Structure 1
Amino acid sequence: MDLTDEEIRDLCPDAVFERGRTYLEEGRIERISRFDDELTAVVAGSRRYDVRVDPSSPESARCSCPYDGPGTCKHVVAVLLRWMANPPTDERDRIDAVLERADPDALRAFLREELASDVGLRDRFLARFDGSTTRSVAEFRAEIDRLFEETNPDYAVVFDPIDFDEYLELAASHREQGRYDSAAAVHRALIESLDDHMELVDGSYDHFTRAFTTALDGYVDCVAASDGEPAADEDATADGDIEDAAAFLEDRAASGTPFLANRFERAAAELRDRAE
């Protein structure tokens, strides 16, 4: 995972690279850690931003900042330069060693406490070990809607990006287990909420558009992969029937955000093509 200055420069415009280097020199990286191949960091800018990046594939880095220019942002650049100059210790071996010697009952009690207080972790835990989601599209949708309401409560617009990774990772976890109906439920909730709030976005357009595209593509893939089989729990999942899912997308094309209409129409057509 060796990186060079030139490889990092290639990820962004020169001005962004220089700002990232300045951030590093100013000590703006408040926390950085490494687990296996992934770095996680908190970088102070106009506010604190969360960065996640794998130095072996830095083009897929994620940052919670509102940057919507070409390439990656200055916060990611700062973290990669920090990695290049002084890589943090990989905590994987230490965690593995602690898990090996931990008392099973104490470990179970710790996990129960964390699951009780962290709904997102609880969802991922259940997706990994128990089966289909226990929450409906409407419940996921209400939770995502609240993120929009809380981001800028004093104005009827959204200036800053919203981190949807928790939901995208939950959907990915369901997909890995072959639970496509549950994954589709999460994707559909994101699609609906983003569609209904997109005209309020007054900045970070690329961020919200990427999230919408990821959710829409994921929904199409999951509905197609389910092969039209009904969900195990109809109230907890999205449409299992391909025709119903295509109709949902077409309805959104007609009634939702105008500049997203073509995307919905293409997604509906793709879903029907896959069904043939």
Structure 2
Amino acid sequence: MDVTEGTVRKICTDAVFERGERYLAEDRILDIHRVDTTVAAVVSGSRQYDVRVDLEADGFDPWCDCPYDGPEACKHVVAVLLRCADDCPPDEGDRLDAALEAADADDLQNFLRETLATDAAVRDRFFARFGESTTRSVDDLRAAIDRKFEETNPDYFVVFEPIDFSGLFDLASEYRDQGRYASAATVYRALVESLDDNMERVDGAYDHFSQAFTRALDEYVDCVAAGDIDTDEAADAVAFLEDRATSGSQLLSEHFERAATELEESLTERRDQ
């Protein structure tokens, strides 16, 4: 997708576009770099915000960790896209490929192992890509997600700003791409449970959390339906959704009821085939 003023205007309101222009003019983009079609940047606002866009995706697939919950893209995304339209950062993809090709195999393996030893998120993605099912339970993953809520606003119960769940969604997608549906379902269920438990404390960026919940719930149903599970496991999955419909947040009860019905129908259809 070409990055022009016109294409940027299509993904934001007029007011947000003007604020994005002002942010660009005020040199609020502190850091920006590009690998292939992905541009990552840091934009200064009331604090520093991380921004990612895909220059070839329809609508640029924007992501920002700011609290904006209005329609379409935020001013930080707009500022980054307008910068790309005016002066796109050089693509470091070829440089990265060249460095990888030139690297000694043992040195590269040592570097990778050091990185994996210190970065749990990357380590999980590595195991998911190269043939390992998850060893983390739903409770373990949910506790880690709950900590994100606690750390976002430690002095108050209320959460005002969005939380970045992209690493967990990427991990679940990796498992799913490898055909390990049970592992993917474990990650999605942890997201569903934590978001359900914490939704009452959300008082800002509600659309962000609602969209994350809906995505995790839909993906959980799809993975359970696609996985190789026995009758008891299928019954437990449906029971989990039905229980949450009555015991979880009232804001989300209808979503759980719908998901339970869809999962039961999918499992019944599979058994009848």
Same fold (TM over 0.5): yes
Shift of residue 59, structure 1, vs aligned partner: 4.8
TM-score, length of structure 2 as denominator length: 0.95
2:32 is equivalent to residue 40 of structure 1? no
**Which residue of structure 1 lines up, in the alignment, with residue 138 of structure 2?**
137
Alignment of 1:231-242 (within 5 A): 241-242=233-234
Q: Aligned partners of 1:75, 1:256: CA distance in 2, in Å? A: 34
Correspondence for 1:204? 205
Which consecutive unaligned segments of at least 5 residues does structure 1 have?
Answer: 231-239
> Do the aligned partners of 1:223 and 1:241 also contact (CA within 8 Å) in 2?
no
| Counterpart residue number, 2:250 | 258
Counterpart residue number, 2:49: 49
1:137-176 deviation line (CA, Å, top 9, x unaligned)? 1110110111111111111111111111110010011011
Q: Which of 236, 239, 245 is the aligned partner of 2:237?
A: 245
Q: How many angstroms apart in 1 are the aligned matches of 2:197 and 2:60?
A: 30
The equivalent residue for 1:103 is 104
Listed one character per residue, the Cα deviations across residues 232-269 of structure 1 (whole Å, up to 9, x for unaligned) are: xxxxxxxx822211110010000000010000000010
- Equivalent-residue separation in structure 2 for 1:172 and 1:31 (angstroms): 28
Q: Under a length normalisation based on structure 1, what TM-score does the superposition of the two structures give?
A: 0.94
* CA distance in structure 1 between the partners assigned to 2:64 and 2:94 by the alignment: 26
Q: Give the Å deviation of 1:228.
A: 2.3
Matching residue's letter, 2:99: V
Corresponding letter in the other structure for 1:8: V
Amino acid of the structure 1 residue aligned with 2:147: R
Unmatched segments (≥5 aa) in structure 2: 269-273
How many angstroms does 1:105 deviate by? 1.0
CA RMSD of aligned residues (A): 1.3
SS in 1 for 2:17: helix
Q: What SS does the corresponding residue of 1:89 show, helix, strand or coil?
A: coil
* TM-aligned CA deviation for residue 87 of structure 1: 1.0
Letter in 2 for 1:253: A
Q: Tell me what 2:271 maps to.
A: none
Supply the AA of the counterpart residue of 1:173: E
Deviation at 1:113, TM superposition (A): 1.0
Partner of 1:179: 180
Counterpart CA distance in 2 for 1:174 and 1:72 is 29
Question: 1-side partners of 2:161 and 2:63: how far apart?
Answer: 15
Matched with 2:166 is 165
* Equivalent position SS for 2:79: helix
In 2, the alpha carbon distance for the partners of 1:94 and 1:257 equals 49
| Deviation of the 1:6 alpha carbon | 1.5
Residue matched to 1:189: 190
SS of residue matched to 2:32: strand
Q: Look up the equivalent residue of 2:181 and give its one-letter code.
A: Y
CA distance in 1: counterparts of 2:129 and 2:123, whole angstroms? 10
> Any conservation in 2 of the 1:59–1:72 contact (CA below 8 Å)?
no
**Number of residue pairs the alignment of both structures matches:** 267
Q: Give the aligned partner of residue 266 of structure 2.
A: 274
> Who is 1:150 aligned against?
151
- Give per-residue Cα distances to partners, 1:184-234, cap 9 Å, x unaligned: 00000000001000001111100110110111011011101104259xxxx
